[in-house]
Amino acid sequence: MSNHLASLKNFSTIVADTGDLASIARLRPQDATTNPSLLLKAARDAQTRELVRASLARSAARGEAGALAIEQLAVDIGCEILKLVPGRVSTEVDPRASFDTEETVRRALRLSERYAAAGIGRERVLIKIASTWEGIRAAERLEREGVHCNLTLLFSFAQAVACADAGVTLISPFVGRIYDWYCKDRGVADIAADEDPGVASVTRIYRYYKRHGYATEIMGASFRKVEQIERLAGCDLLTISPELLDQLAAAPGEIARCLSPDDVAAADPRQPLSQPDFLWQHNGDAMAVEKLAEGIRKFDVDARALEREVAGMHS
DSSP code of residue 13: E
pLDDT average, residue stretch 171-177 = 97
Question: What does pLDDT average to over the chain?
Answer: 94
pLDDT at 1: 65
- Considering only residues 290 and 64, tell me which one the structure prediction assigns the higher pLDDT: 290
Overall domain count for the chain: 1
Q: How would residue 74 be classed by pLDDT, with cut points 50, 70 and 90?
A: very high
Q: How would residue 38 be classed by pLDDT, with cut points 50, 70 and 90?
A: confident
Active site residue 128: yes
Asked which of 102-116, 146-160, 223-237, 301-315 is least confident by mean pLDDT, the reply is 301-315
Confidence (pTM): 0.94
- The enclosing domain of 194 has a CATH number of 3.20.20.70
The residue segments making up the domain with residue 172 are 4-314
pLDDT average, residue stretch 170-185 = 98
- Residues contacting 12, CB < 8 A, separation 6+: 232, 233, 234, 235, 236, 237, 238
**Residue of 128, 184, 291, 298 with catalytic role:** 128
Q: How would residue 315 be classed by pLDDT, with cut points 50, 70 and 90?
A: low
- Considering only residues 141 and 65, tell me which one the structure prediction assigns the higher pLDDT: 141
Find the helix or strand (DSSP H, E) in which 183 lies: helix 175-186
pLDDT average, residue stretch 166-177 = 98
pLDDT over 90 (residue 314): no
DSSP code of residue 267: P
pLDDT at 150: 98
pLDDT average, residue stretch 301-311 = 86
pLDDT over 90 (residue 82): yes
